[in-house]
Amino acid sequence: MVIHQEFRDVKRPNLGIAAWAVPSIVRHGTPEQQERFLPGTFTREITWCQLFSEPGAGSDLASLSTRAVRVEGGWSLNGQKIWTSLAQWAQWAICLARTDPGAPKHEGITYFLVDMSSPGVTVRPLKEINGDEIFNEVFLDDVFVPDDLVIGQVNGGWRVARDTLSHERVALGDSWGPGSGHTDMVALIDTLGGPGALRPSALEEAGRRWASGQAISALGLRVTLSQLTGGDSGTASSVRKLLGMRHSQAVSEFCWSIAPDSPYWNRMILATRAFTIGGGTTEVQLNIIAERALGLPRDP
């Protein structure tokens, strides 16, 4: 946190998916796995993607059907993943696959590291509403993964996955992409002539967006302090993700309203539509908050 604050005015490389994969490798990986993957990740030599979601297992991730079958020296993976960001550029992936189909759905899953150059890995980009191709379909056909690329325990991958998802929600709640934060809004206002150039209603709206951005940042600090003292970010990460996504959309909509001719903000208002789905849908976050934080009855 100290390093993050000291470098707040310096533009640094965005680790992307690695920002939530690395903590899981640190917490659950072996020293050999950490030595093999962490230095290259921090120097941007290794780009990561996340092979979690499937066509039939998005929000209900534990229903995944990708299979991993024991073979000599490791595992053979077969299945399809979808909405995989950066898969066409990633060298490595974190991947969930079912290793015990007879176990309860949360207990028969294992967490793998997959070399994206392995035989049997096929990546097909998906074109989005703004014309970009960030998400992908990924097909795994008899992809071999050696035993030393299992993170945590065989059939114990759900615990590792929950750790990864927690960090993902914190990261996405902060800002999933460029141009969707309250500081970007202020930079735009400056280019338009400063606060005095805005009509009173727009200036009031900008103040609301700034205040909500500050509140979300404070919530992020609370999550981080909890983790530093050995706590679980738990429901707080879901709250931050939920609020952060709404905030990103609101900022983009506001910036587009005061700069409707900007190609950049035209693209951002389209790009942020996906924010309430990626990284766990709004409905899933609301369920987590209701059940785990408020103690309401579980969703049937």
CB 149 within 8 A of CB 110: no
Length of the chain, in residues? 300
Per the listing, tokens 């509403």 go with: 129
**Contacts within 8 Å (CB) and 24+ apart, 1-6:** 1/221, 1/224, 1/228
The question of whether 168 is a catalytic residue gets the answer yes
Annotated catalytic residue within 35, 72, 107, 168: 168
d(CA 135, CA 289): 27
The H or E element spanning position 271 is: helix 263-271
Sign of CA dihedral 29, 35, 36, 39: positive
Contacts of 91 (CB under 8 A, 6+ apart): 46, 47, 48, 115, 116, 117
d(CA 94, CA 96): 7
Catalytic annotation, residues: 168
